[in-house]
Structure 1
Amino acid sequence: MRSIAILLLSSLPASAEIATDRANRLEHIVEQDCGSCHGLTMNGGLGSPLTPTALSATESEGIAEIILEGVPGTAMPRWRPLLSEEDALWIADYLKGRTK
């Protein structure tokens, strides 16, 4: 978790040439941190599946809100202290298969 905080607290410039680096960082977070609970293939584990099929009925904005606020009473933490709304929406779109 500490390495994630360091990565996320570092500045993520918005320029086009840095956008790929930002996407790579967010993809790494999904694979390593989300994958630790939701399964490395996102097919579920401690957390529910995060596959495009499993998320198809949920809007990206709703997924982003869950990422940012967590789910009380579950192991899903709040990521708002570490992720921006833009980052959470990128992750939601990525999980739904819209961003690669």
Structure 2
Amino acid sequence: MPWPHSLRRAALALALAHMAMGSDAETAERVTPSVSRQQALVHIVRQDCGSCHGMRLTGGLGPPLTATALSERPLLAVVSTILHGRPGTPMPGWHPLLSEEDAQWIARQLQAGFPEESTP
């Protein structure tokens, strides 16, 4: 399914900003959240994103967020979708609650196979 023009434009803007900062790998090293923040982000994704994308992230109202489903998507496009949503769809932008660093970490985890929530 082709991406809407506004999403492509947002992904391009984010990609250009990151090109000035370095490669995805370099950026990824600089934006690893603390262990406690990682746990909070896993909970947010499993609960909030899971309410639309399925509790196992295999799809529901929204498309699946599995490593296989996201394997062809550029990392920065996934980050842009997390932060800015998808206009014309129920997917909201999460930038009021998540930093760009949070979104980058989530996107990398989704593309690798998202971790389960740890229980205390």
Q: Which of 1 and 2 has greater Rg?
A: 2
Common topology (TM > 0.5): yes
Which structure 2 segments of 5+ residues have no match? 1-31, 116-120
Aligned equivalent of 2:61 = 46
The answer as to whether partners of 1:55 and 1:96 remain within 8 angstroms in 2 is: yes
Distance in 2, matches of 1:99 and 1:46, equals: 19
The answer as to whether partners of 2:50 and 2:56 remain within 8 angstroms in 1 is: yes
% identical equivalent positions? 54
Letter in 2 for 1:31: R
Q: TM-score, with normalisation over the residues of structure 1?
A: 0.78
Residue 114 of structure 2 corresponds to residue 95 of structure 1: no
Give the Å deviation of 1:45.
Answer: 0.2
Letter in 1 for 2:57: M
Letter in 1 for 2:100: E
Q: TM-score, with normalisation over the residues of structure 2?
A: 0.65
**Runs (4+) off by over 4 Å:** none
Distance in 2, matches of 1:46 and 1:21, equals: 29
Which structure 1 segments of 5+ residues have no match? 1-15
Q: Out of 61, 65, 76, which is 2:76 matched to? A: 61
- More relative contact order in 1 or in 2 (CA 8 Å, sep 6+)? 2
Report the RMSD for the aligned CA atoms in angstroms.
Answer: 1.8
Give the Å deviation of 1:98.
Answer: 6.7
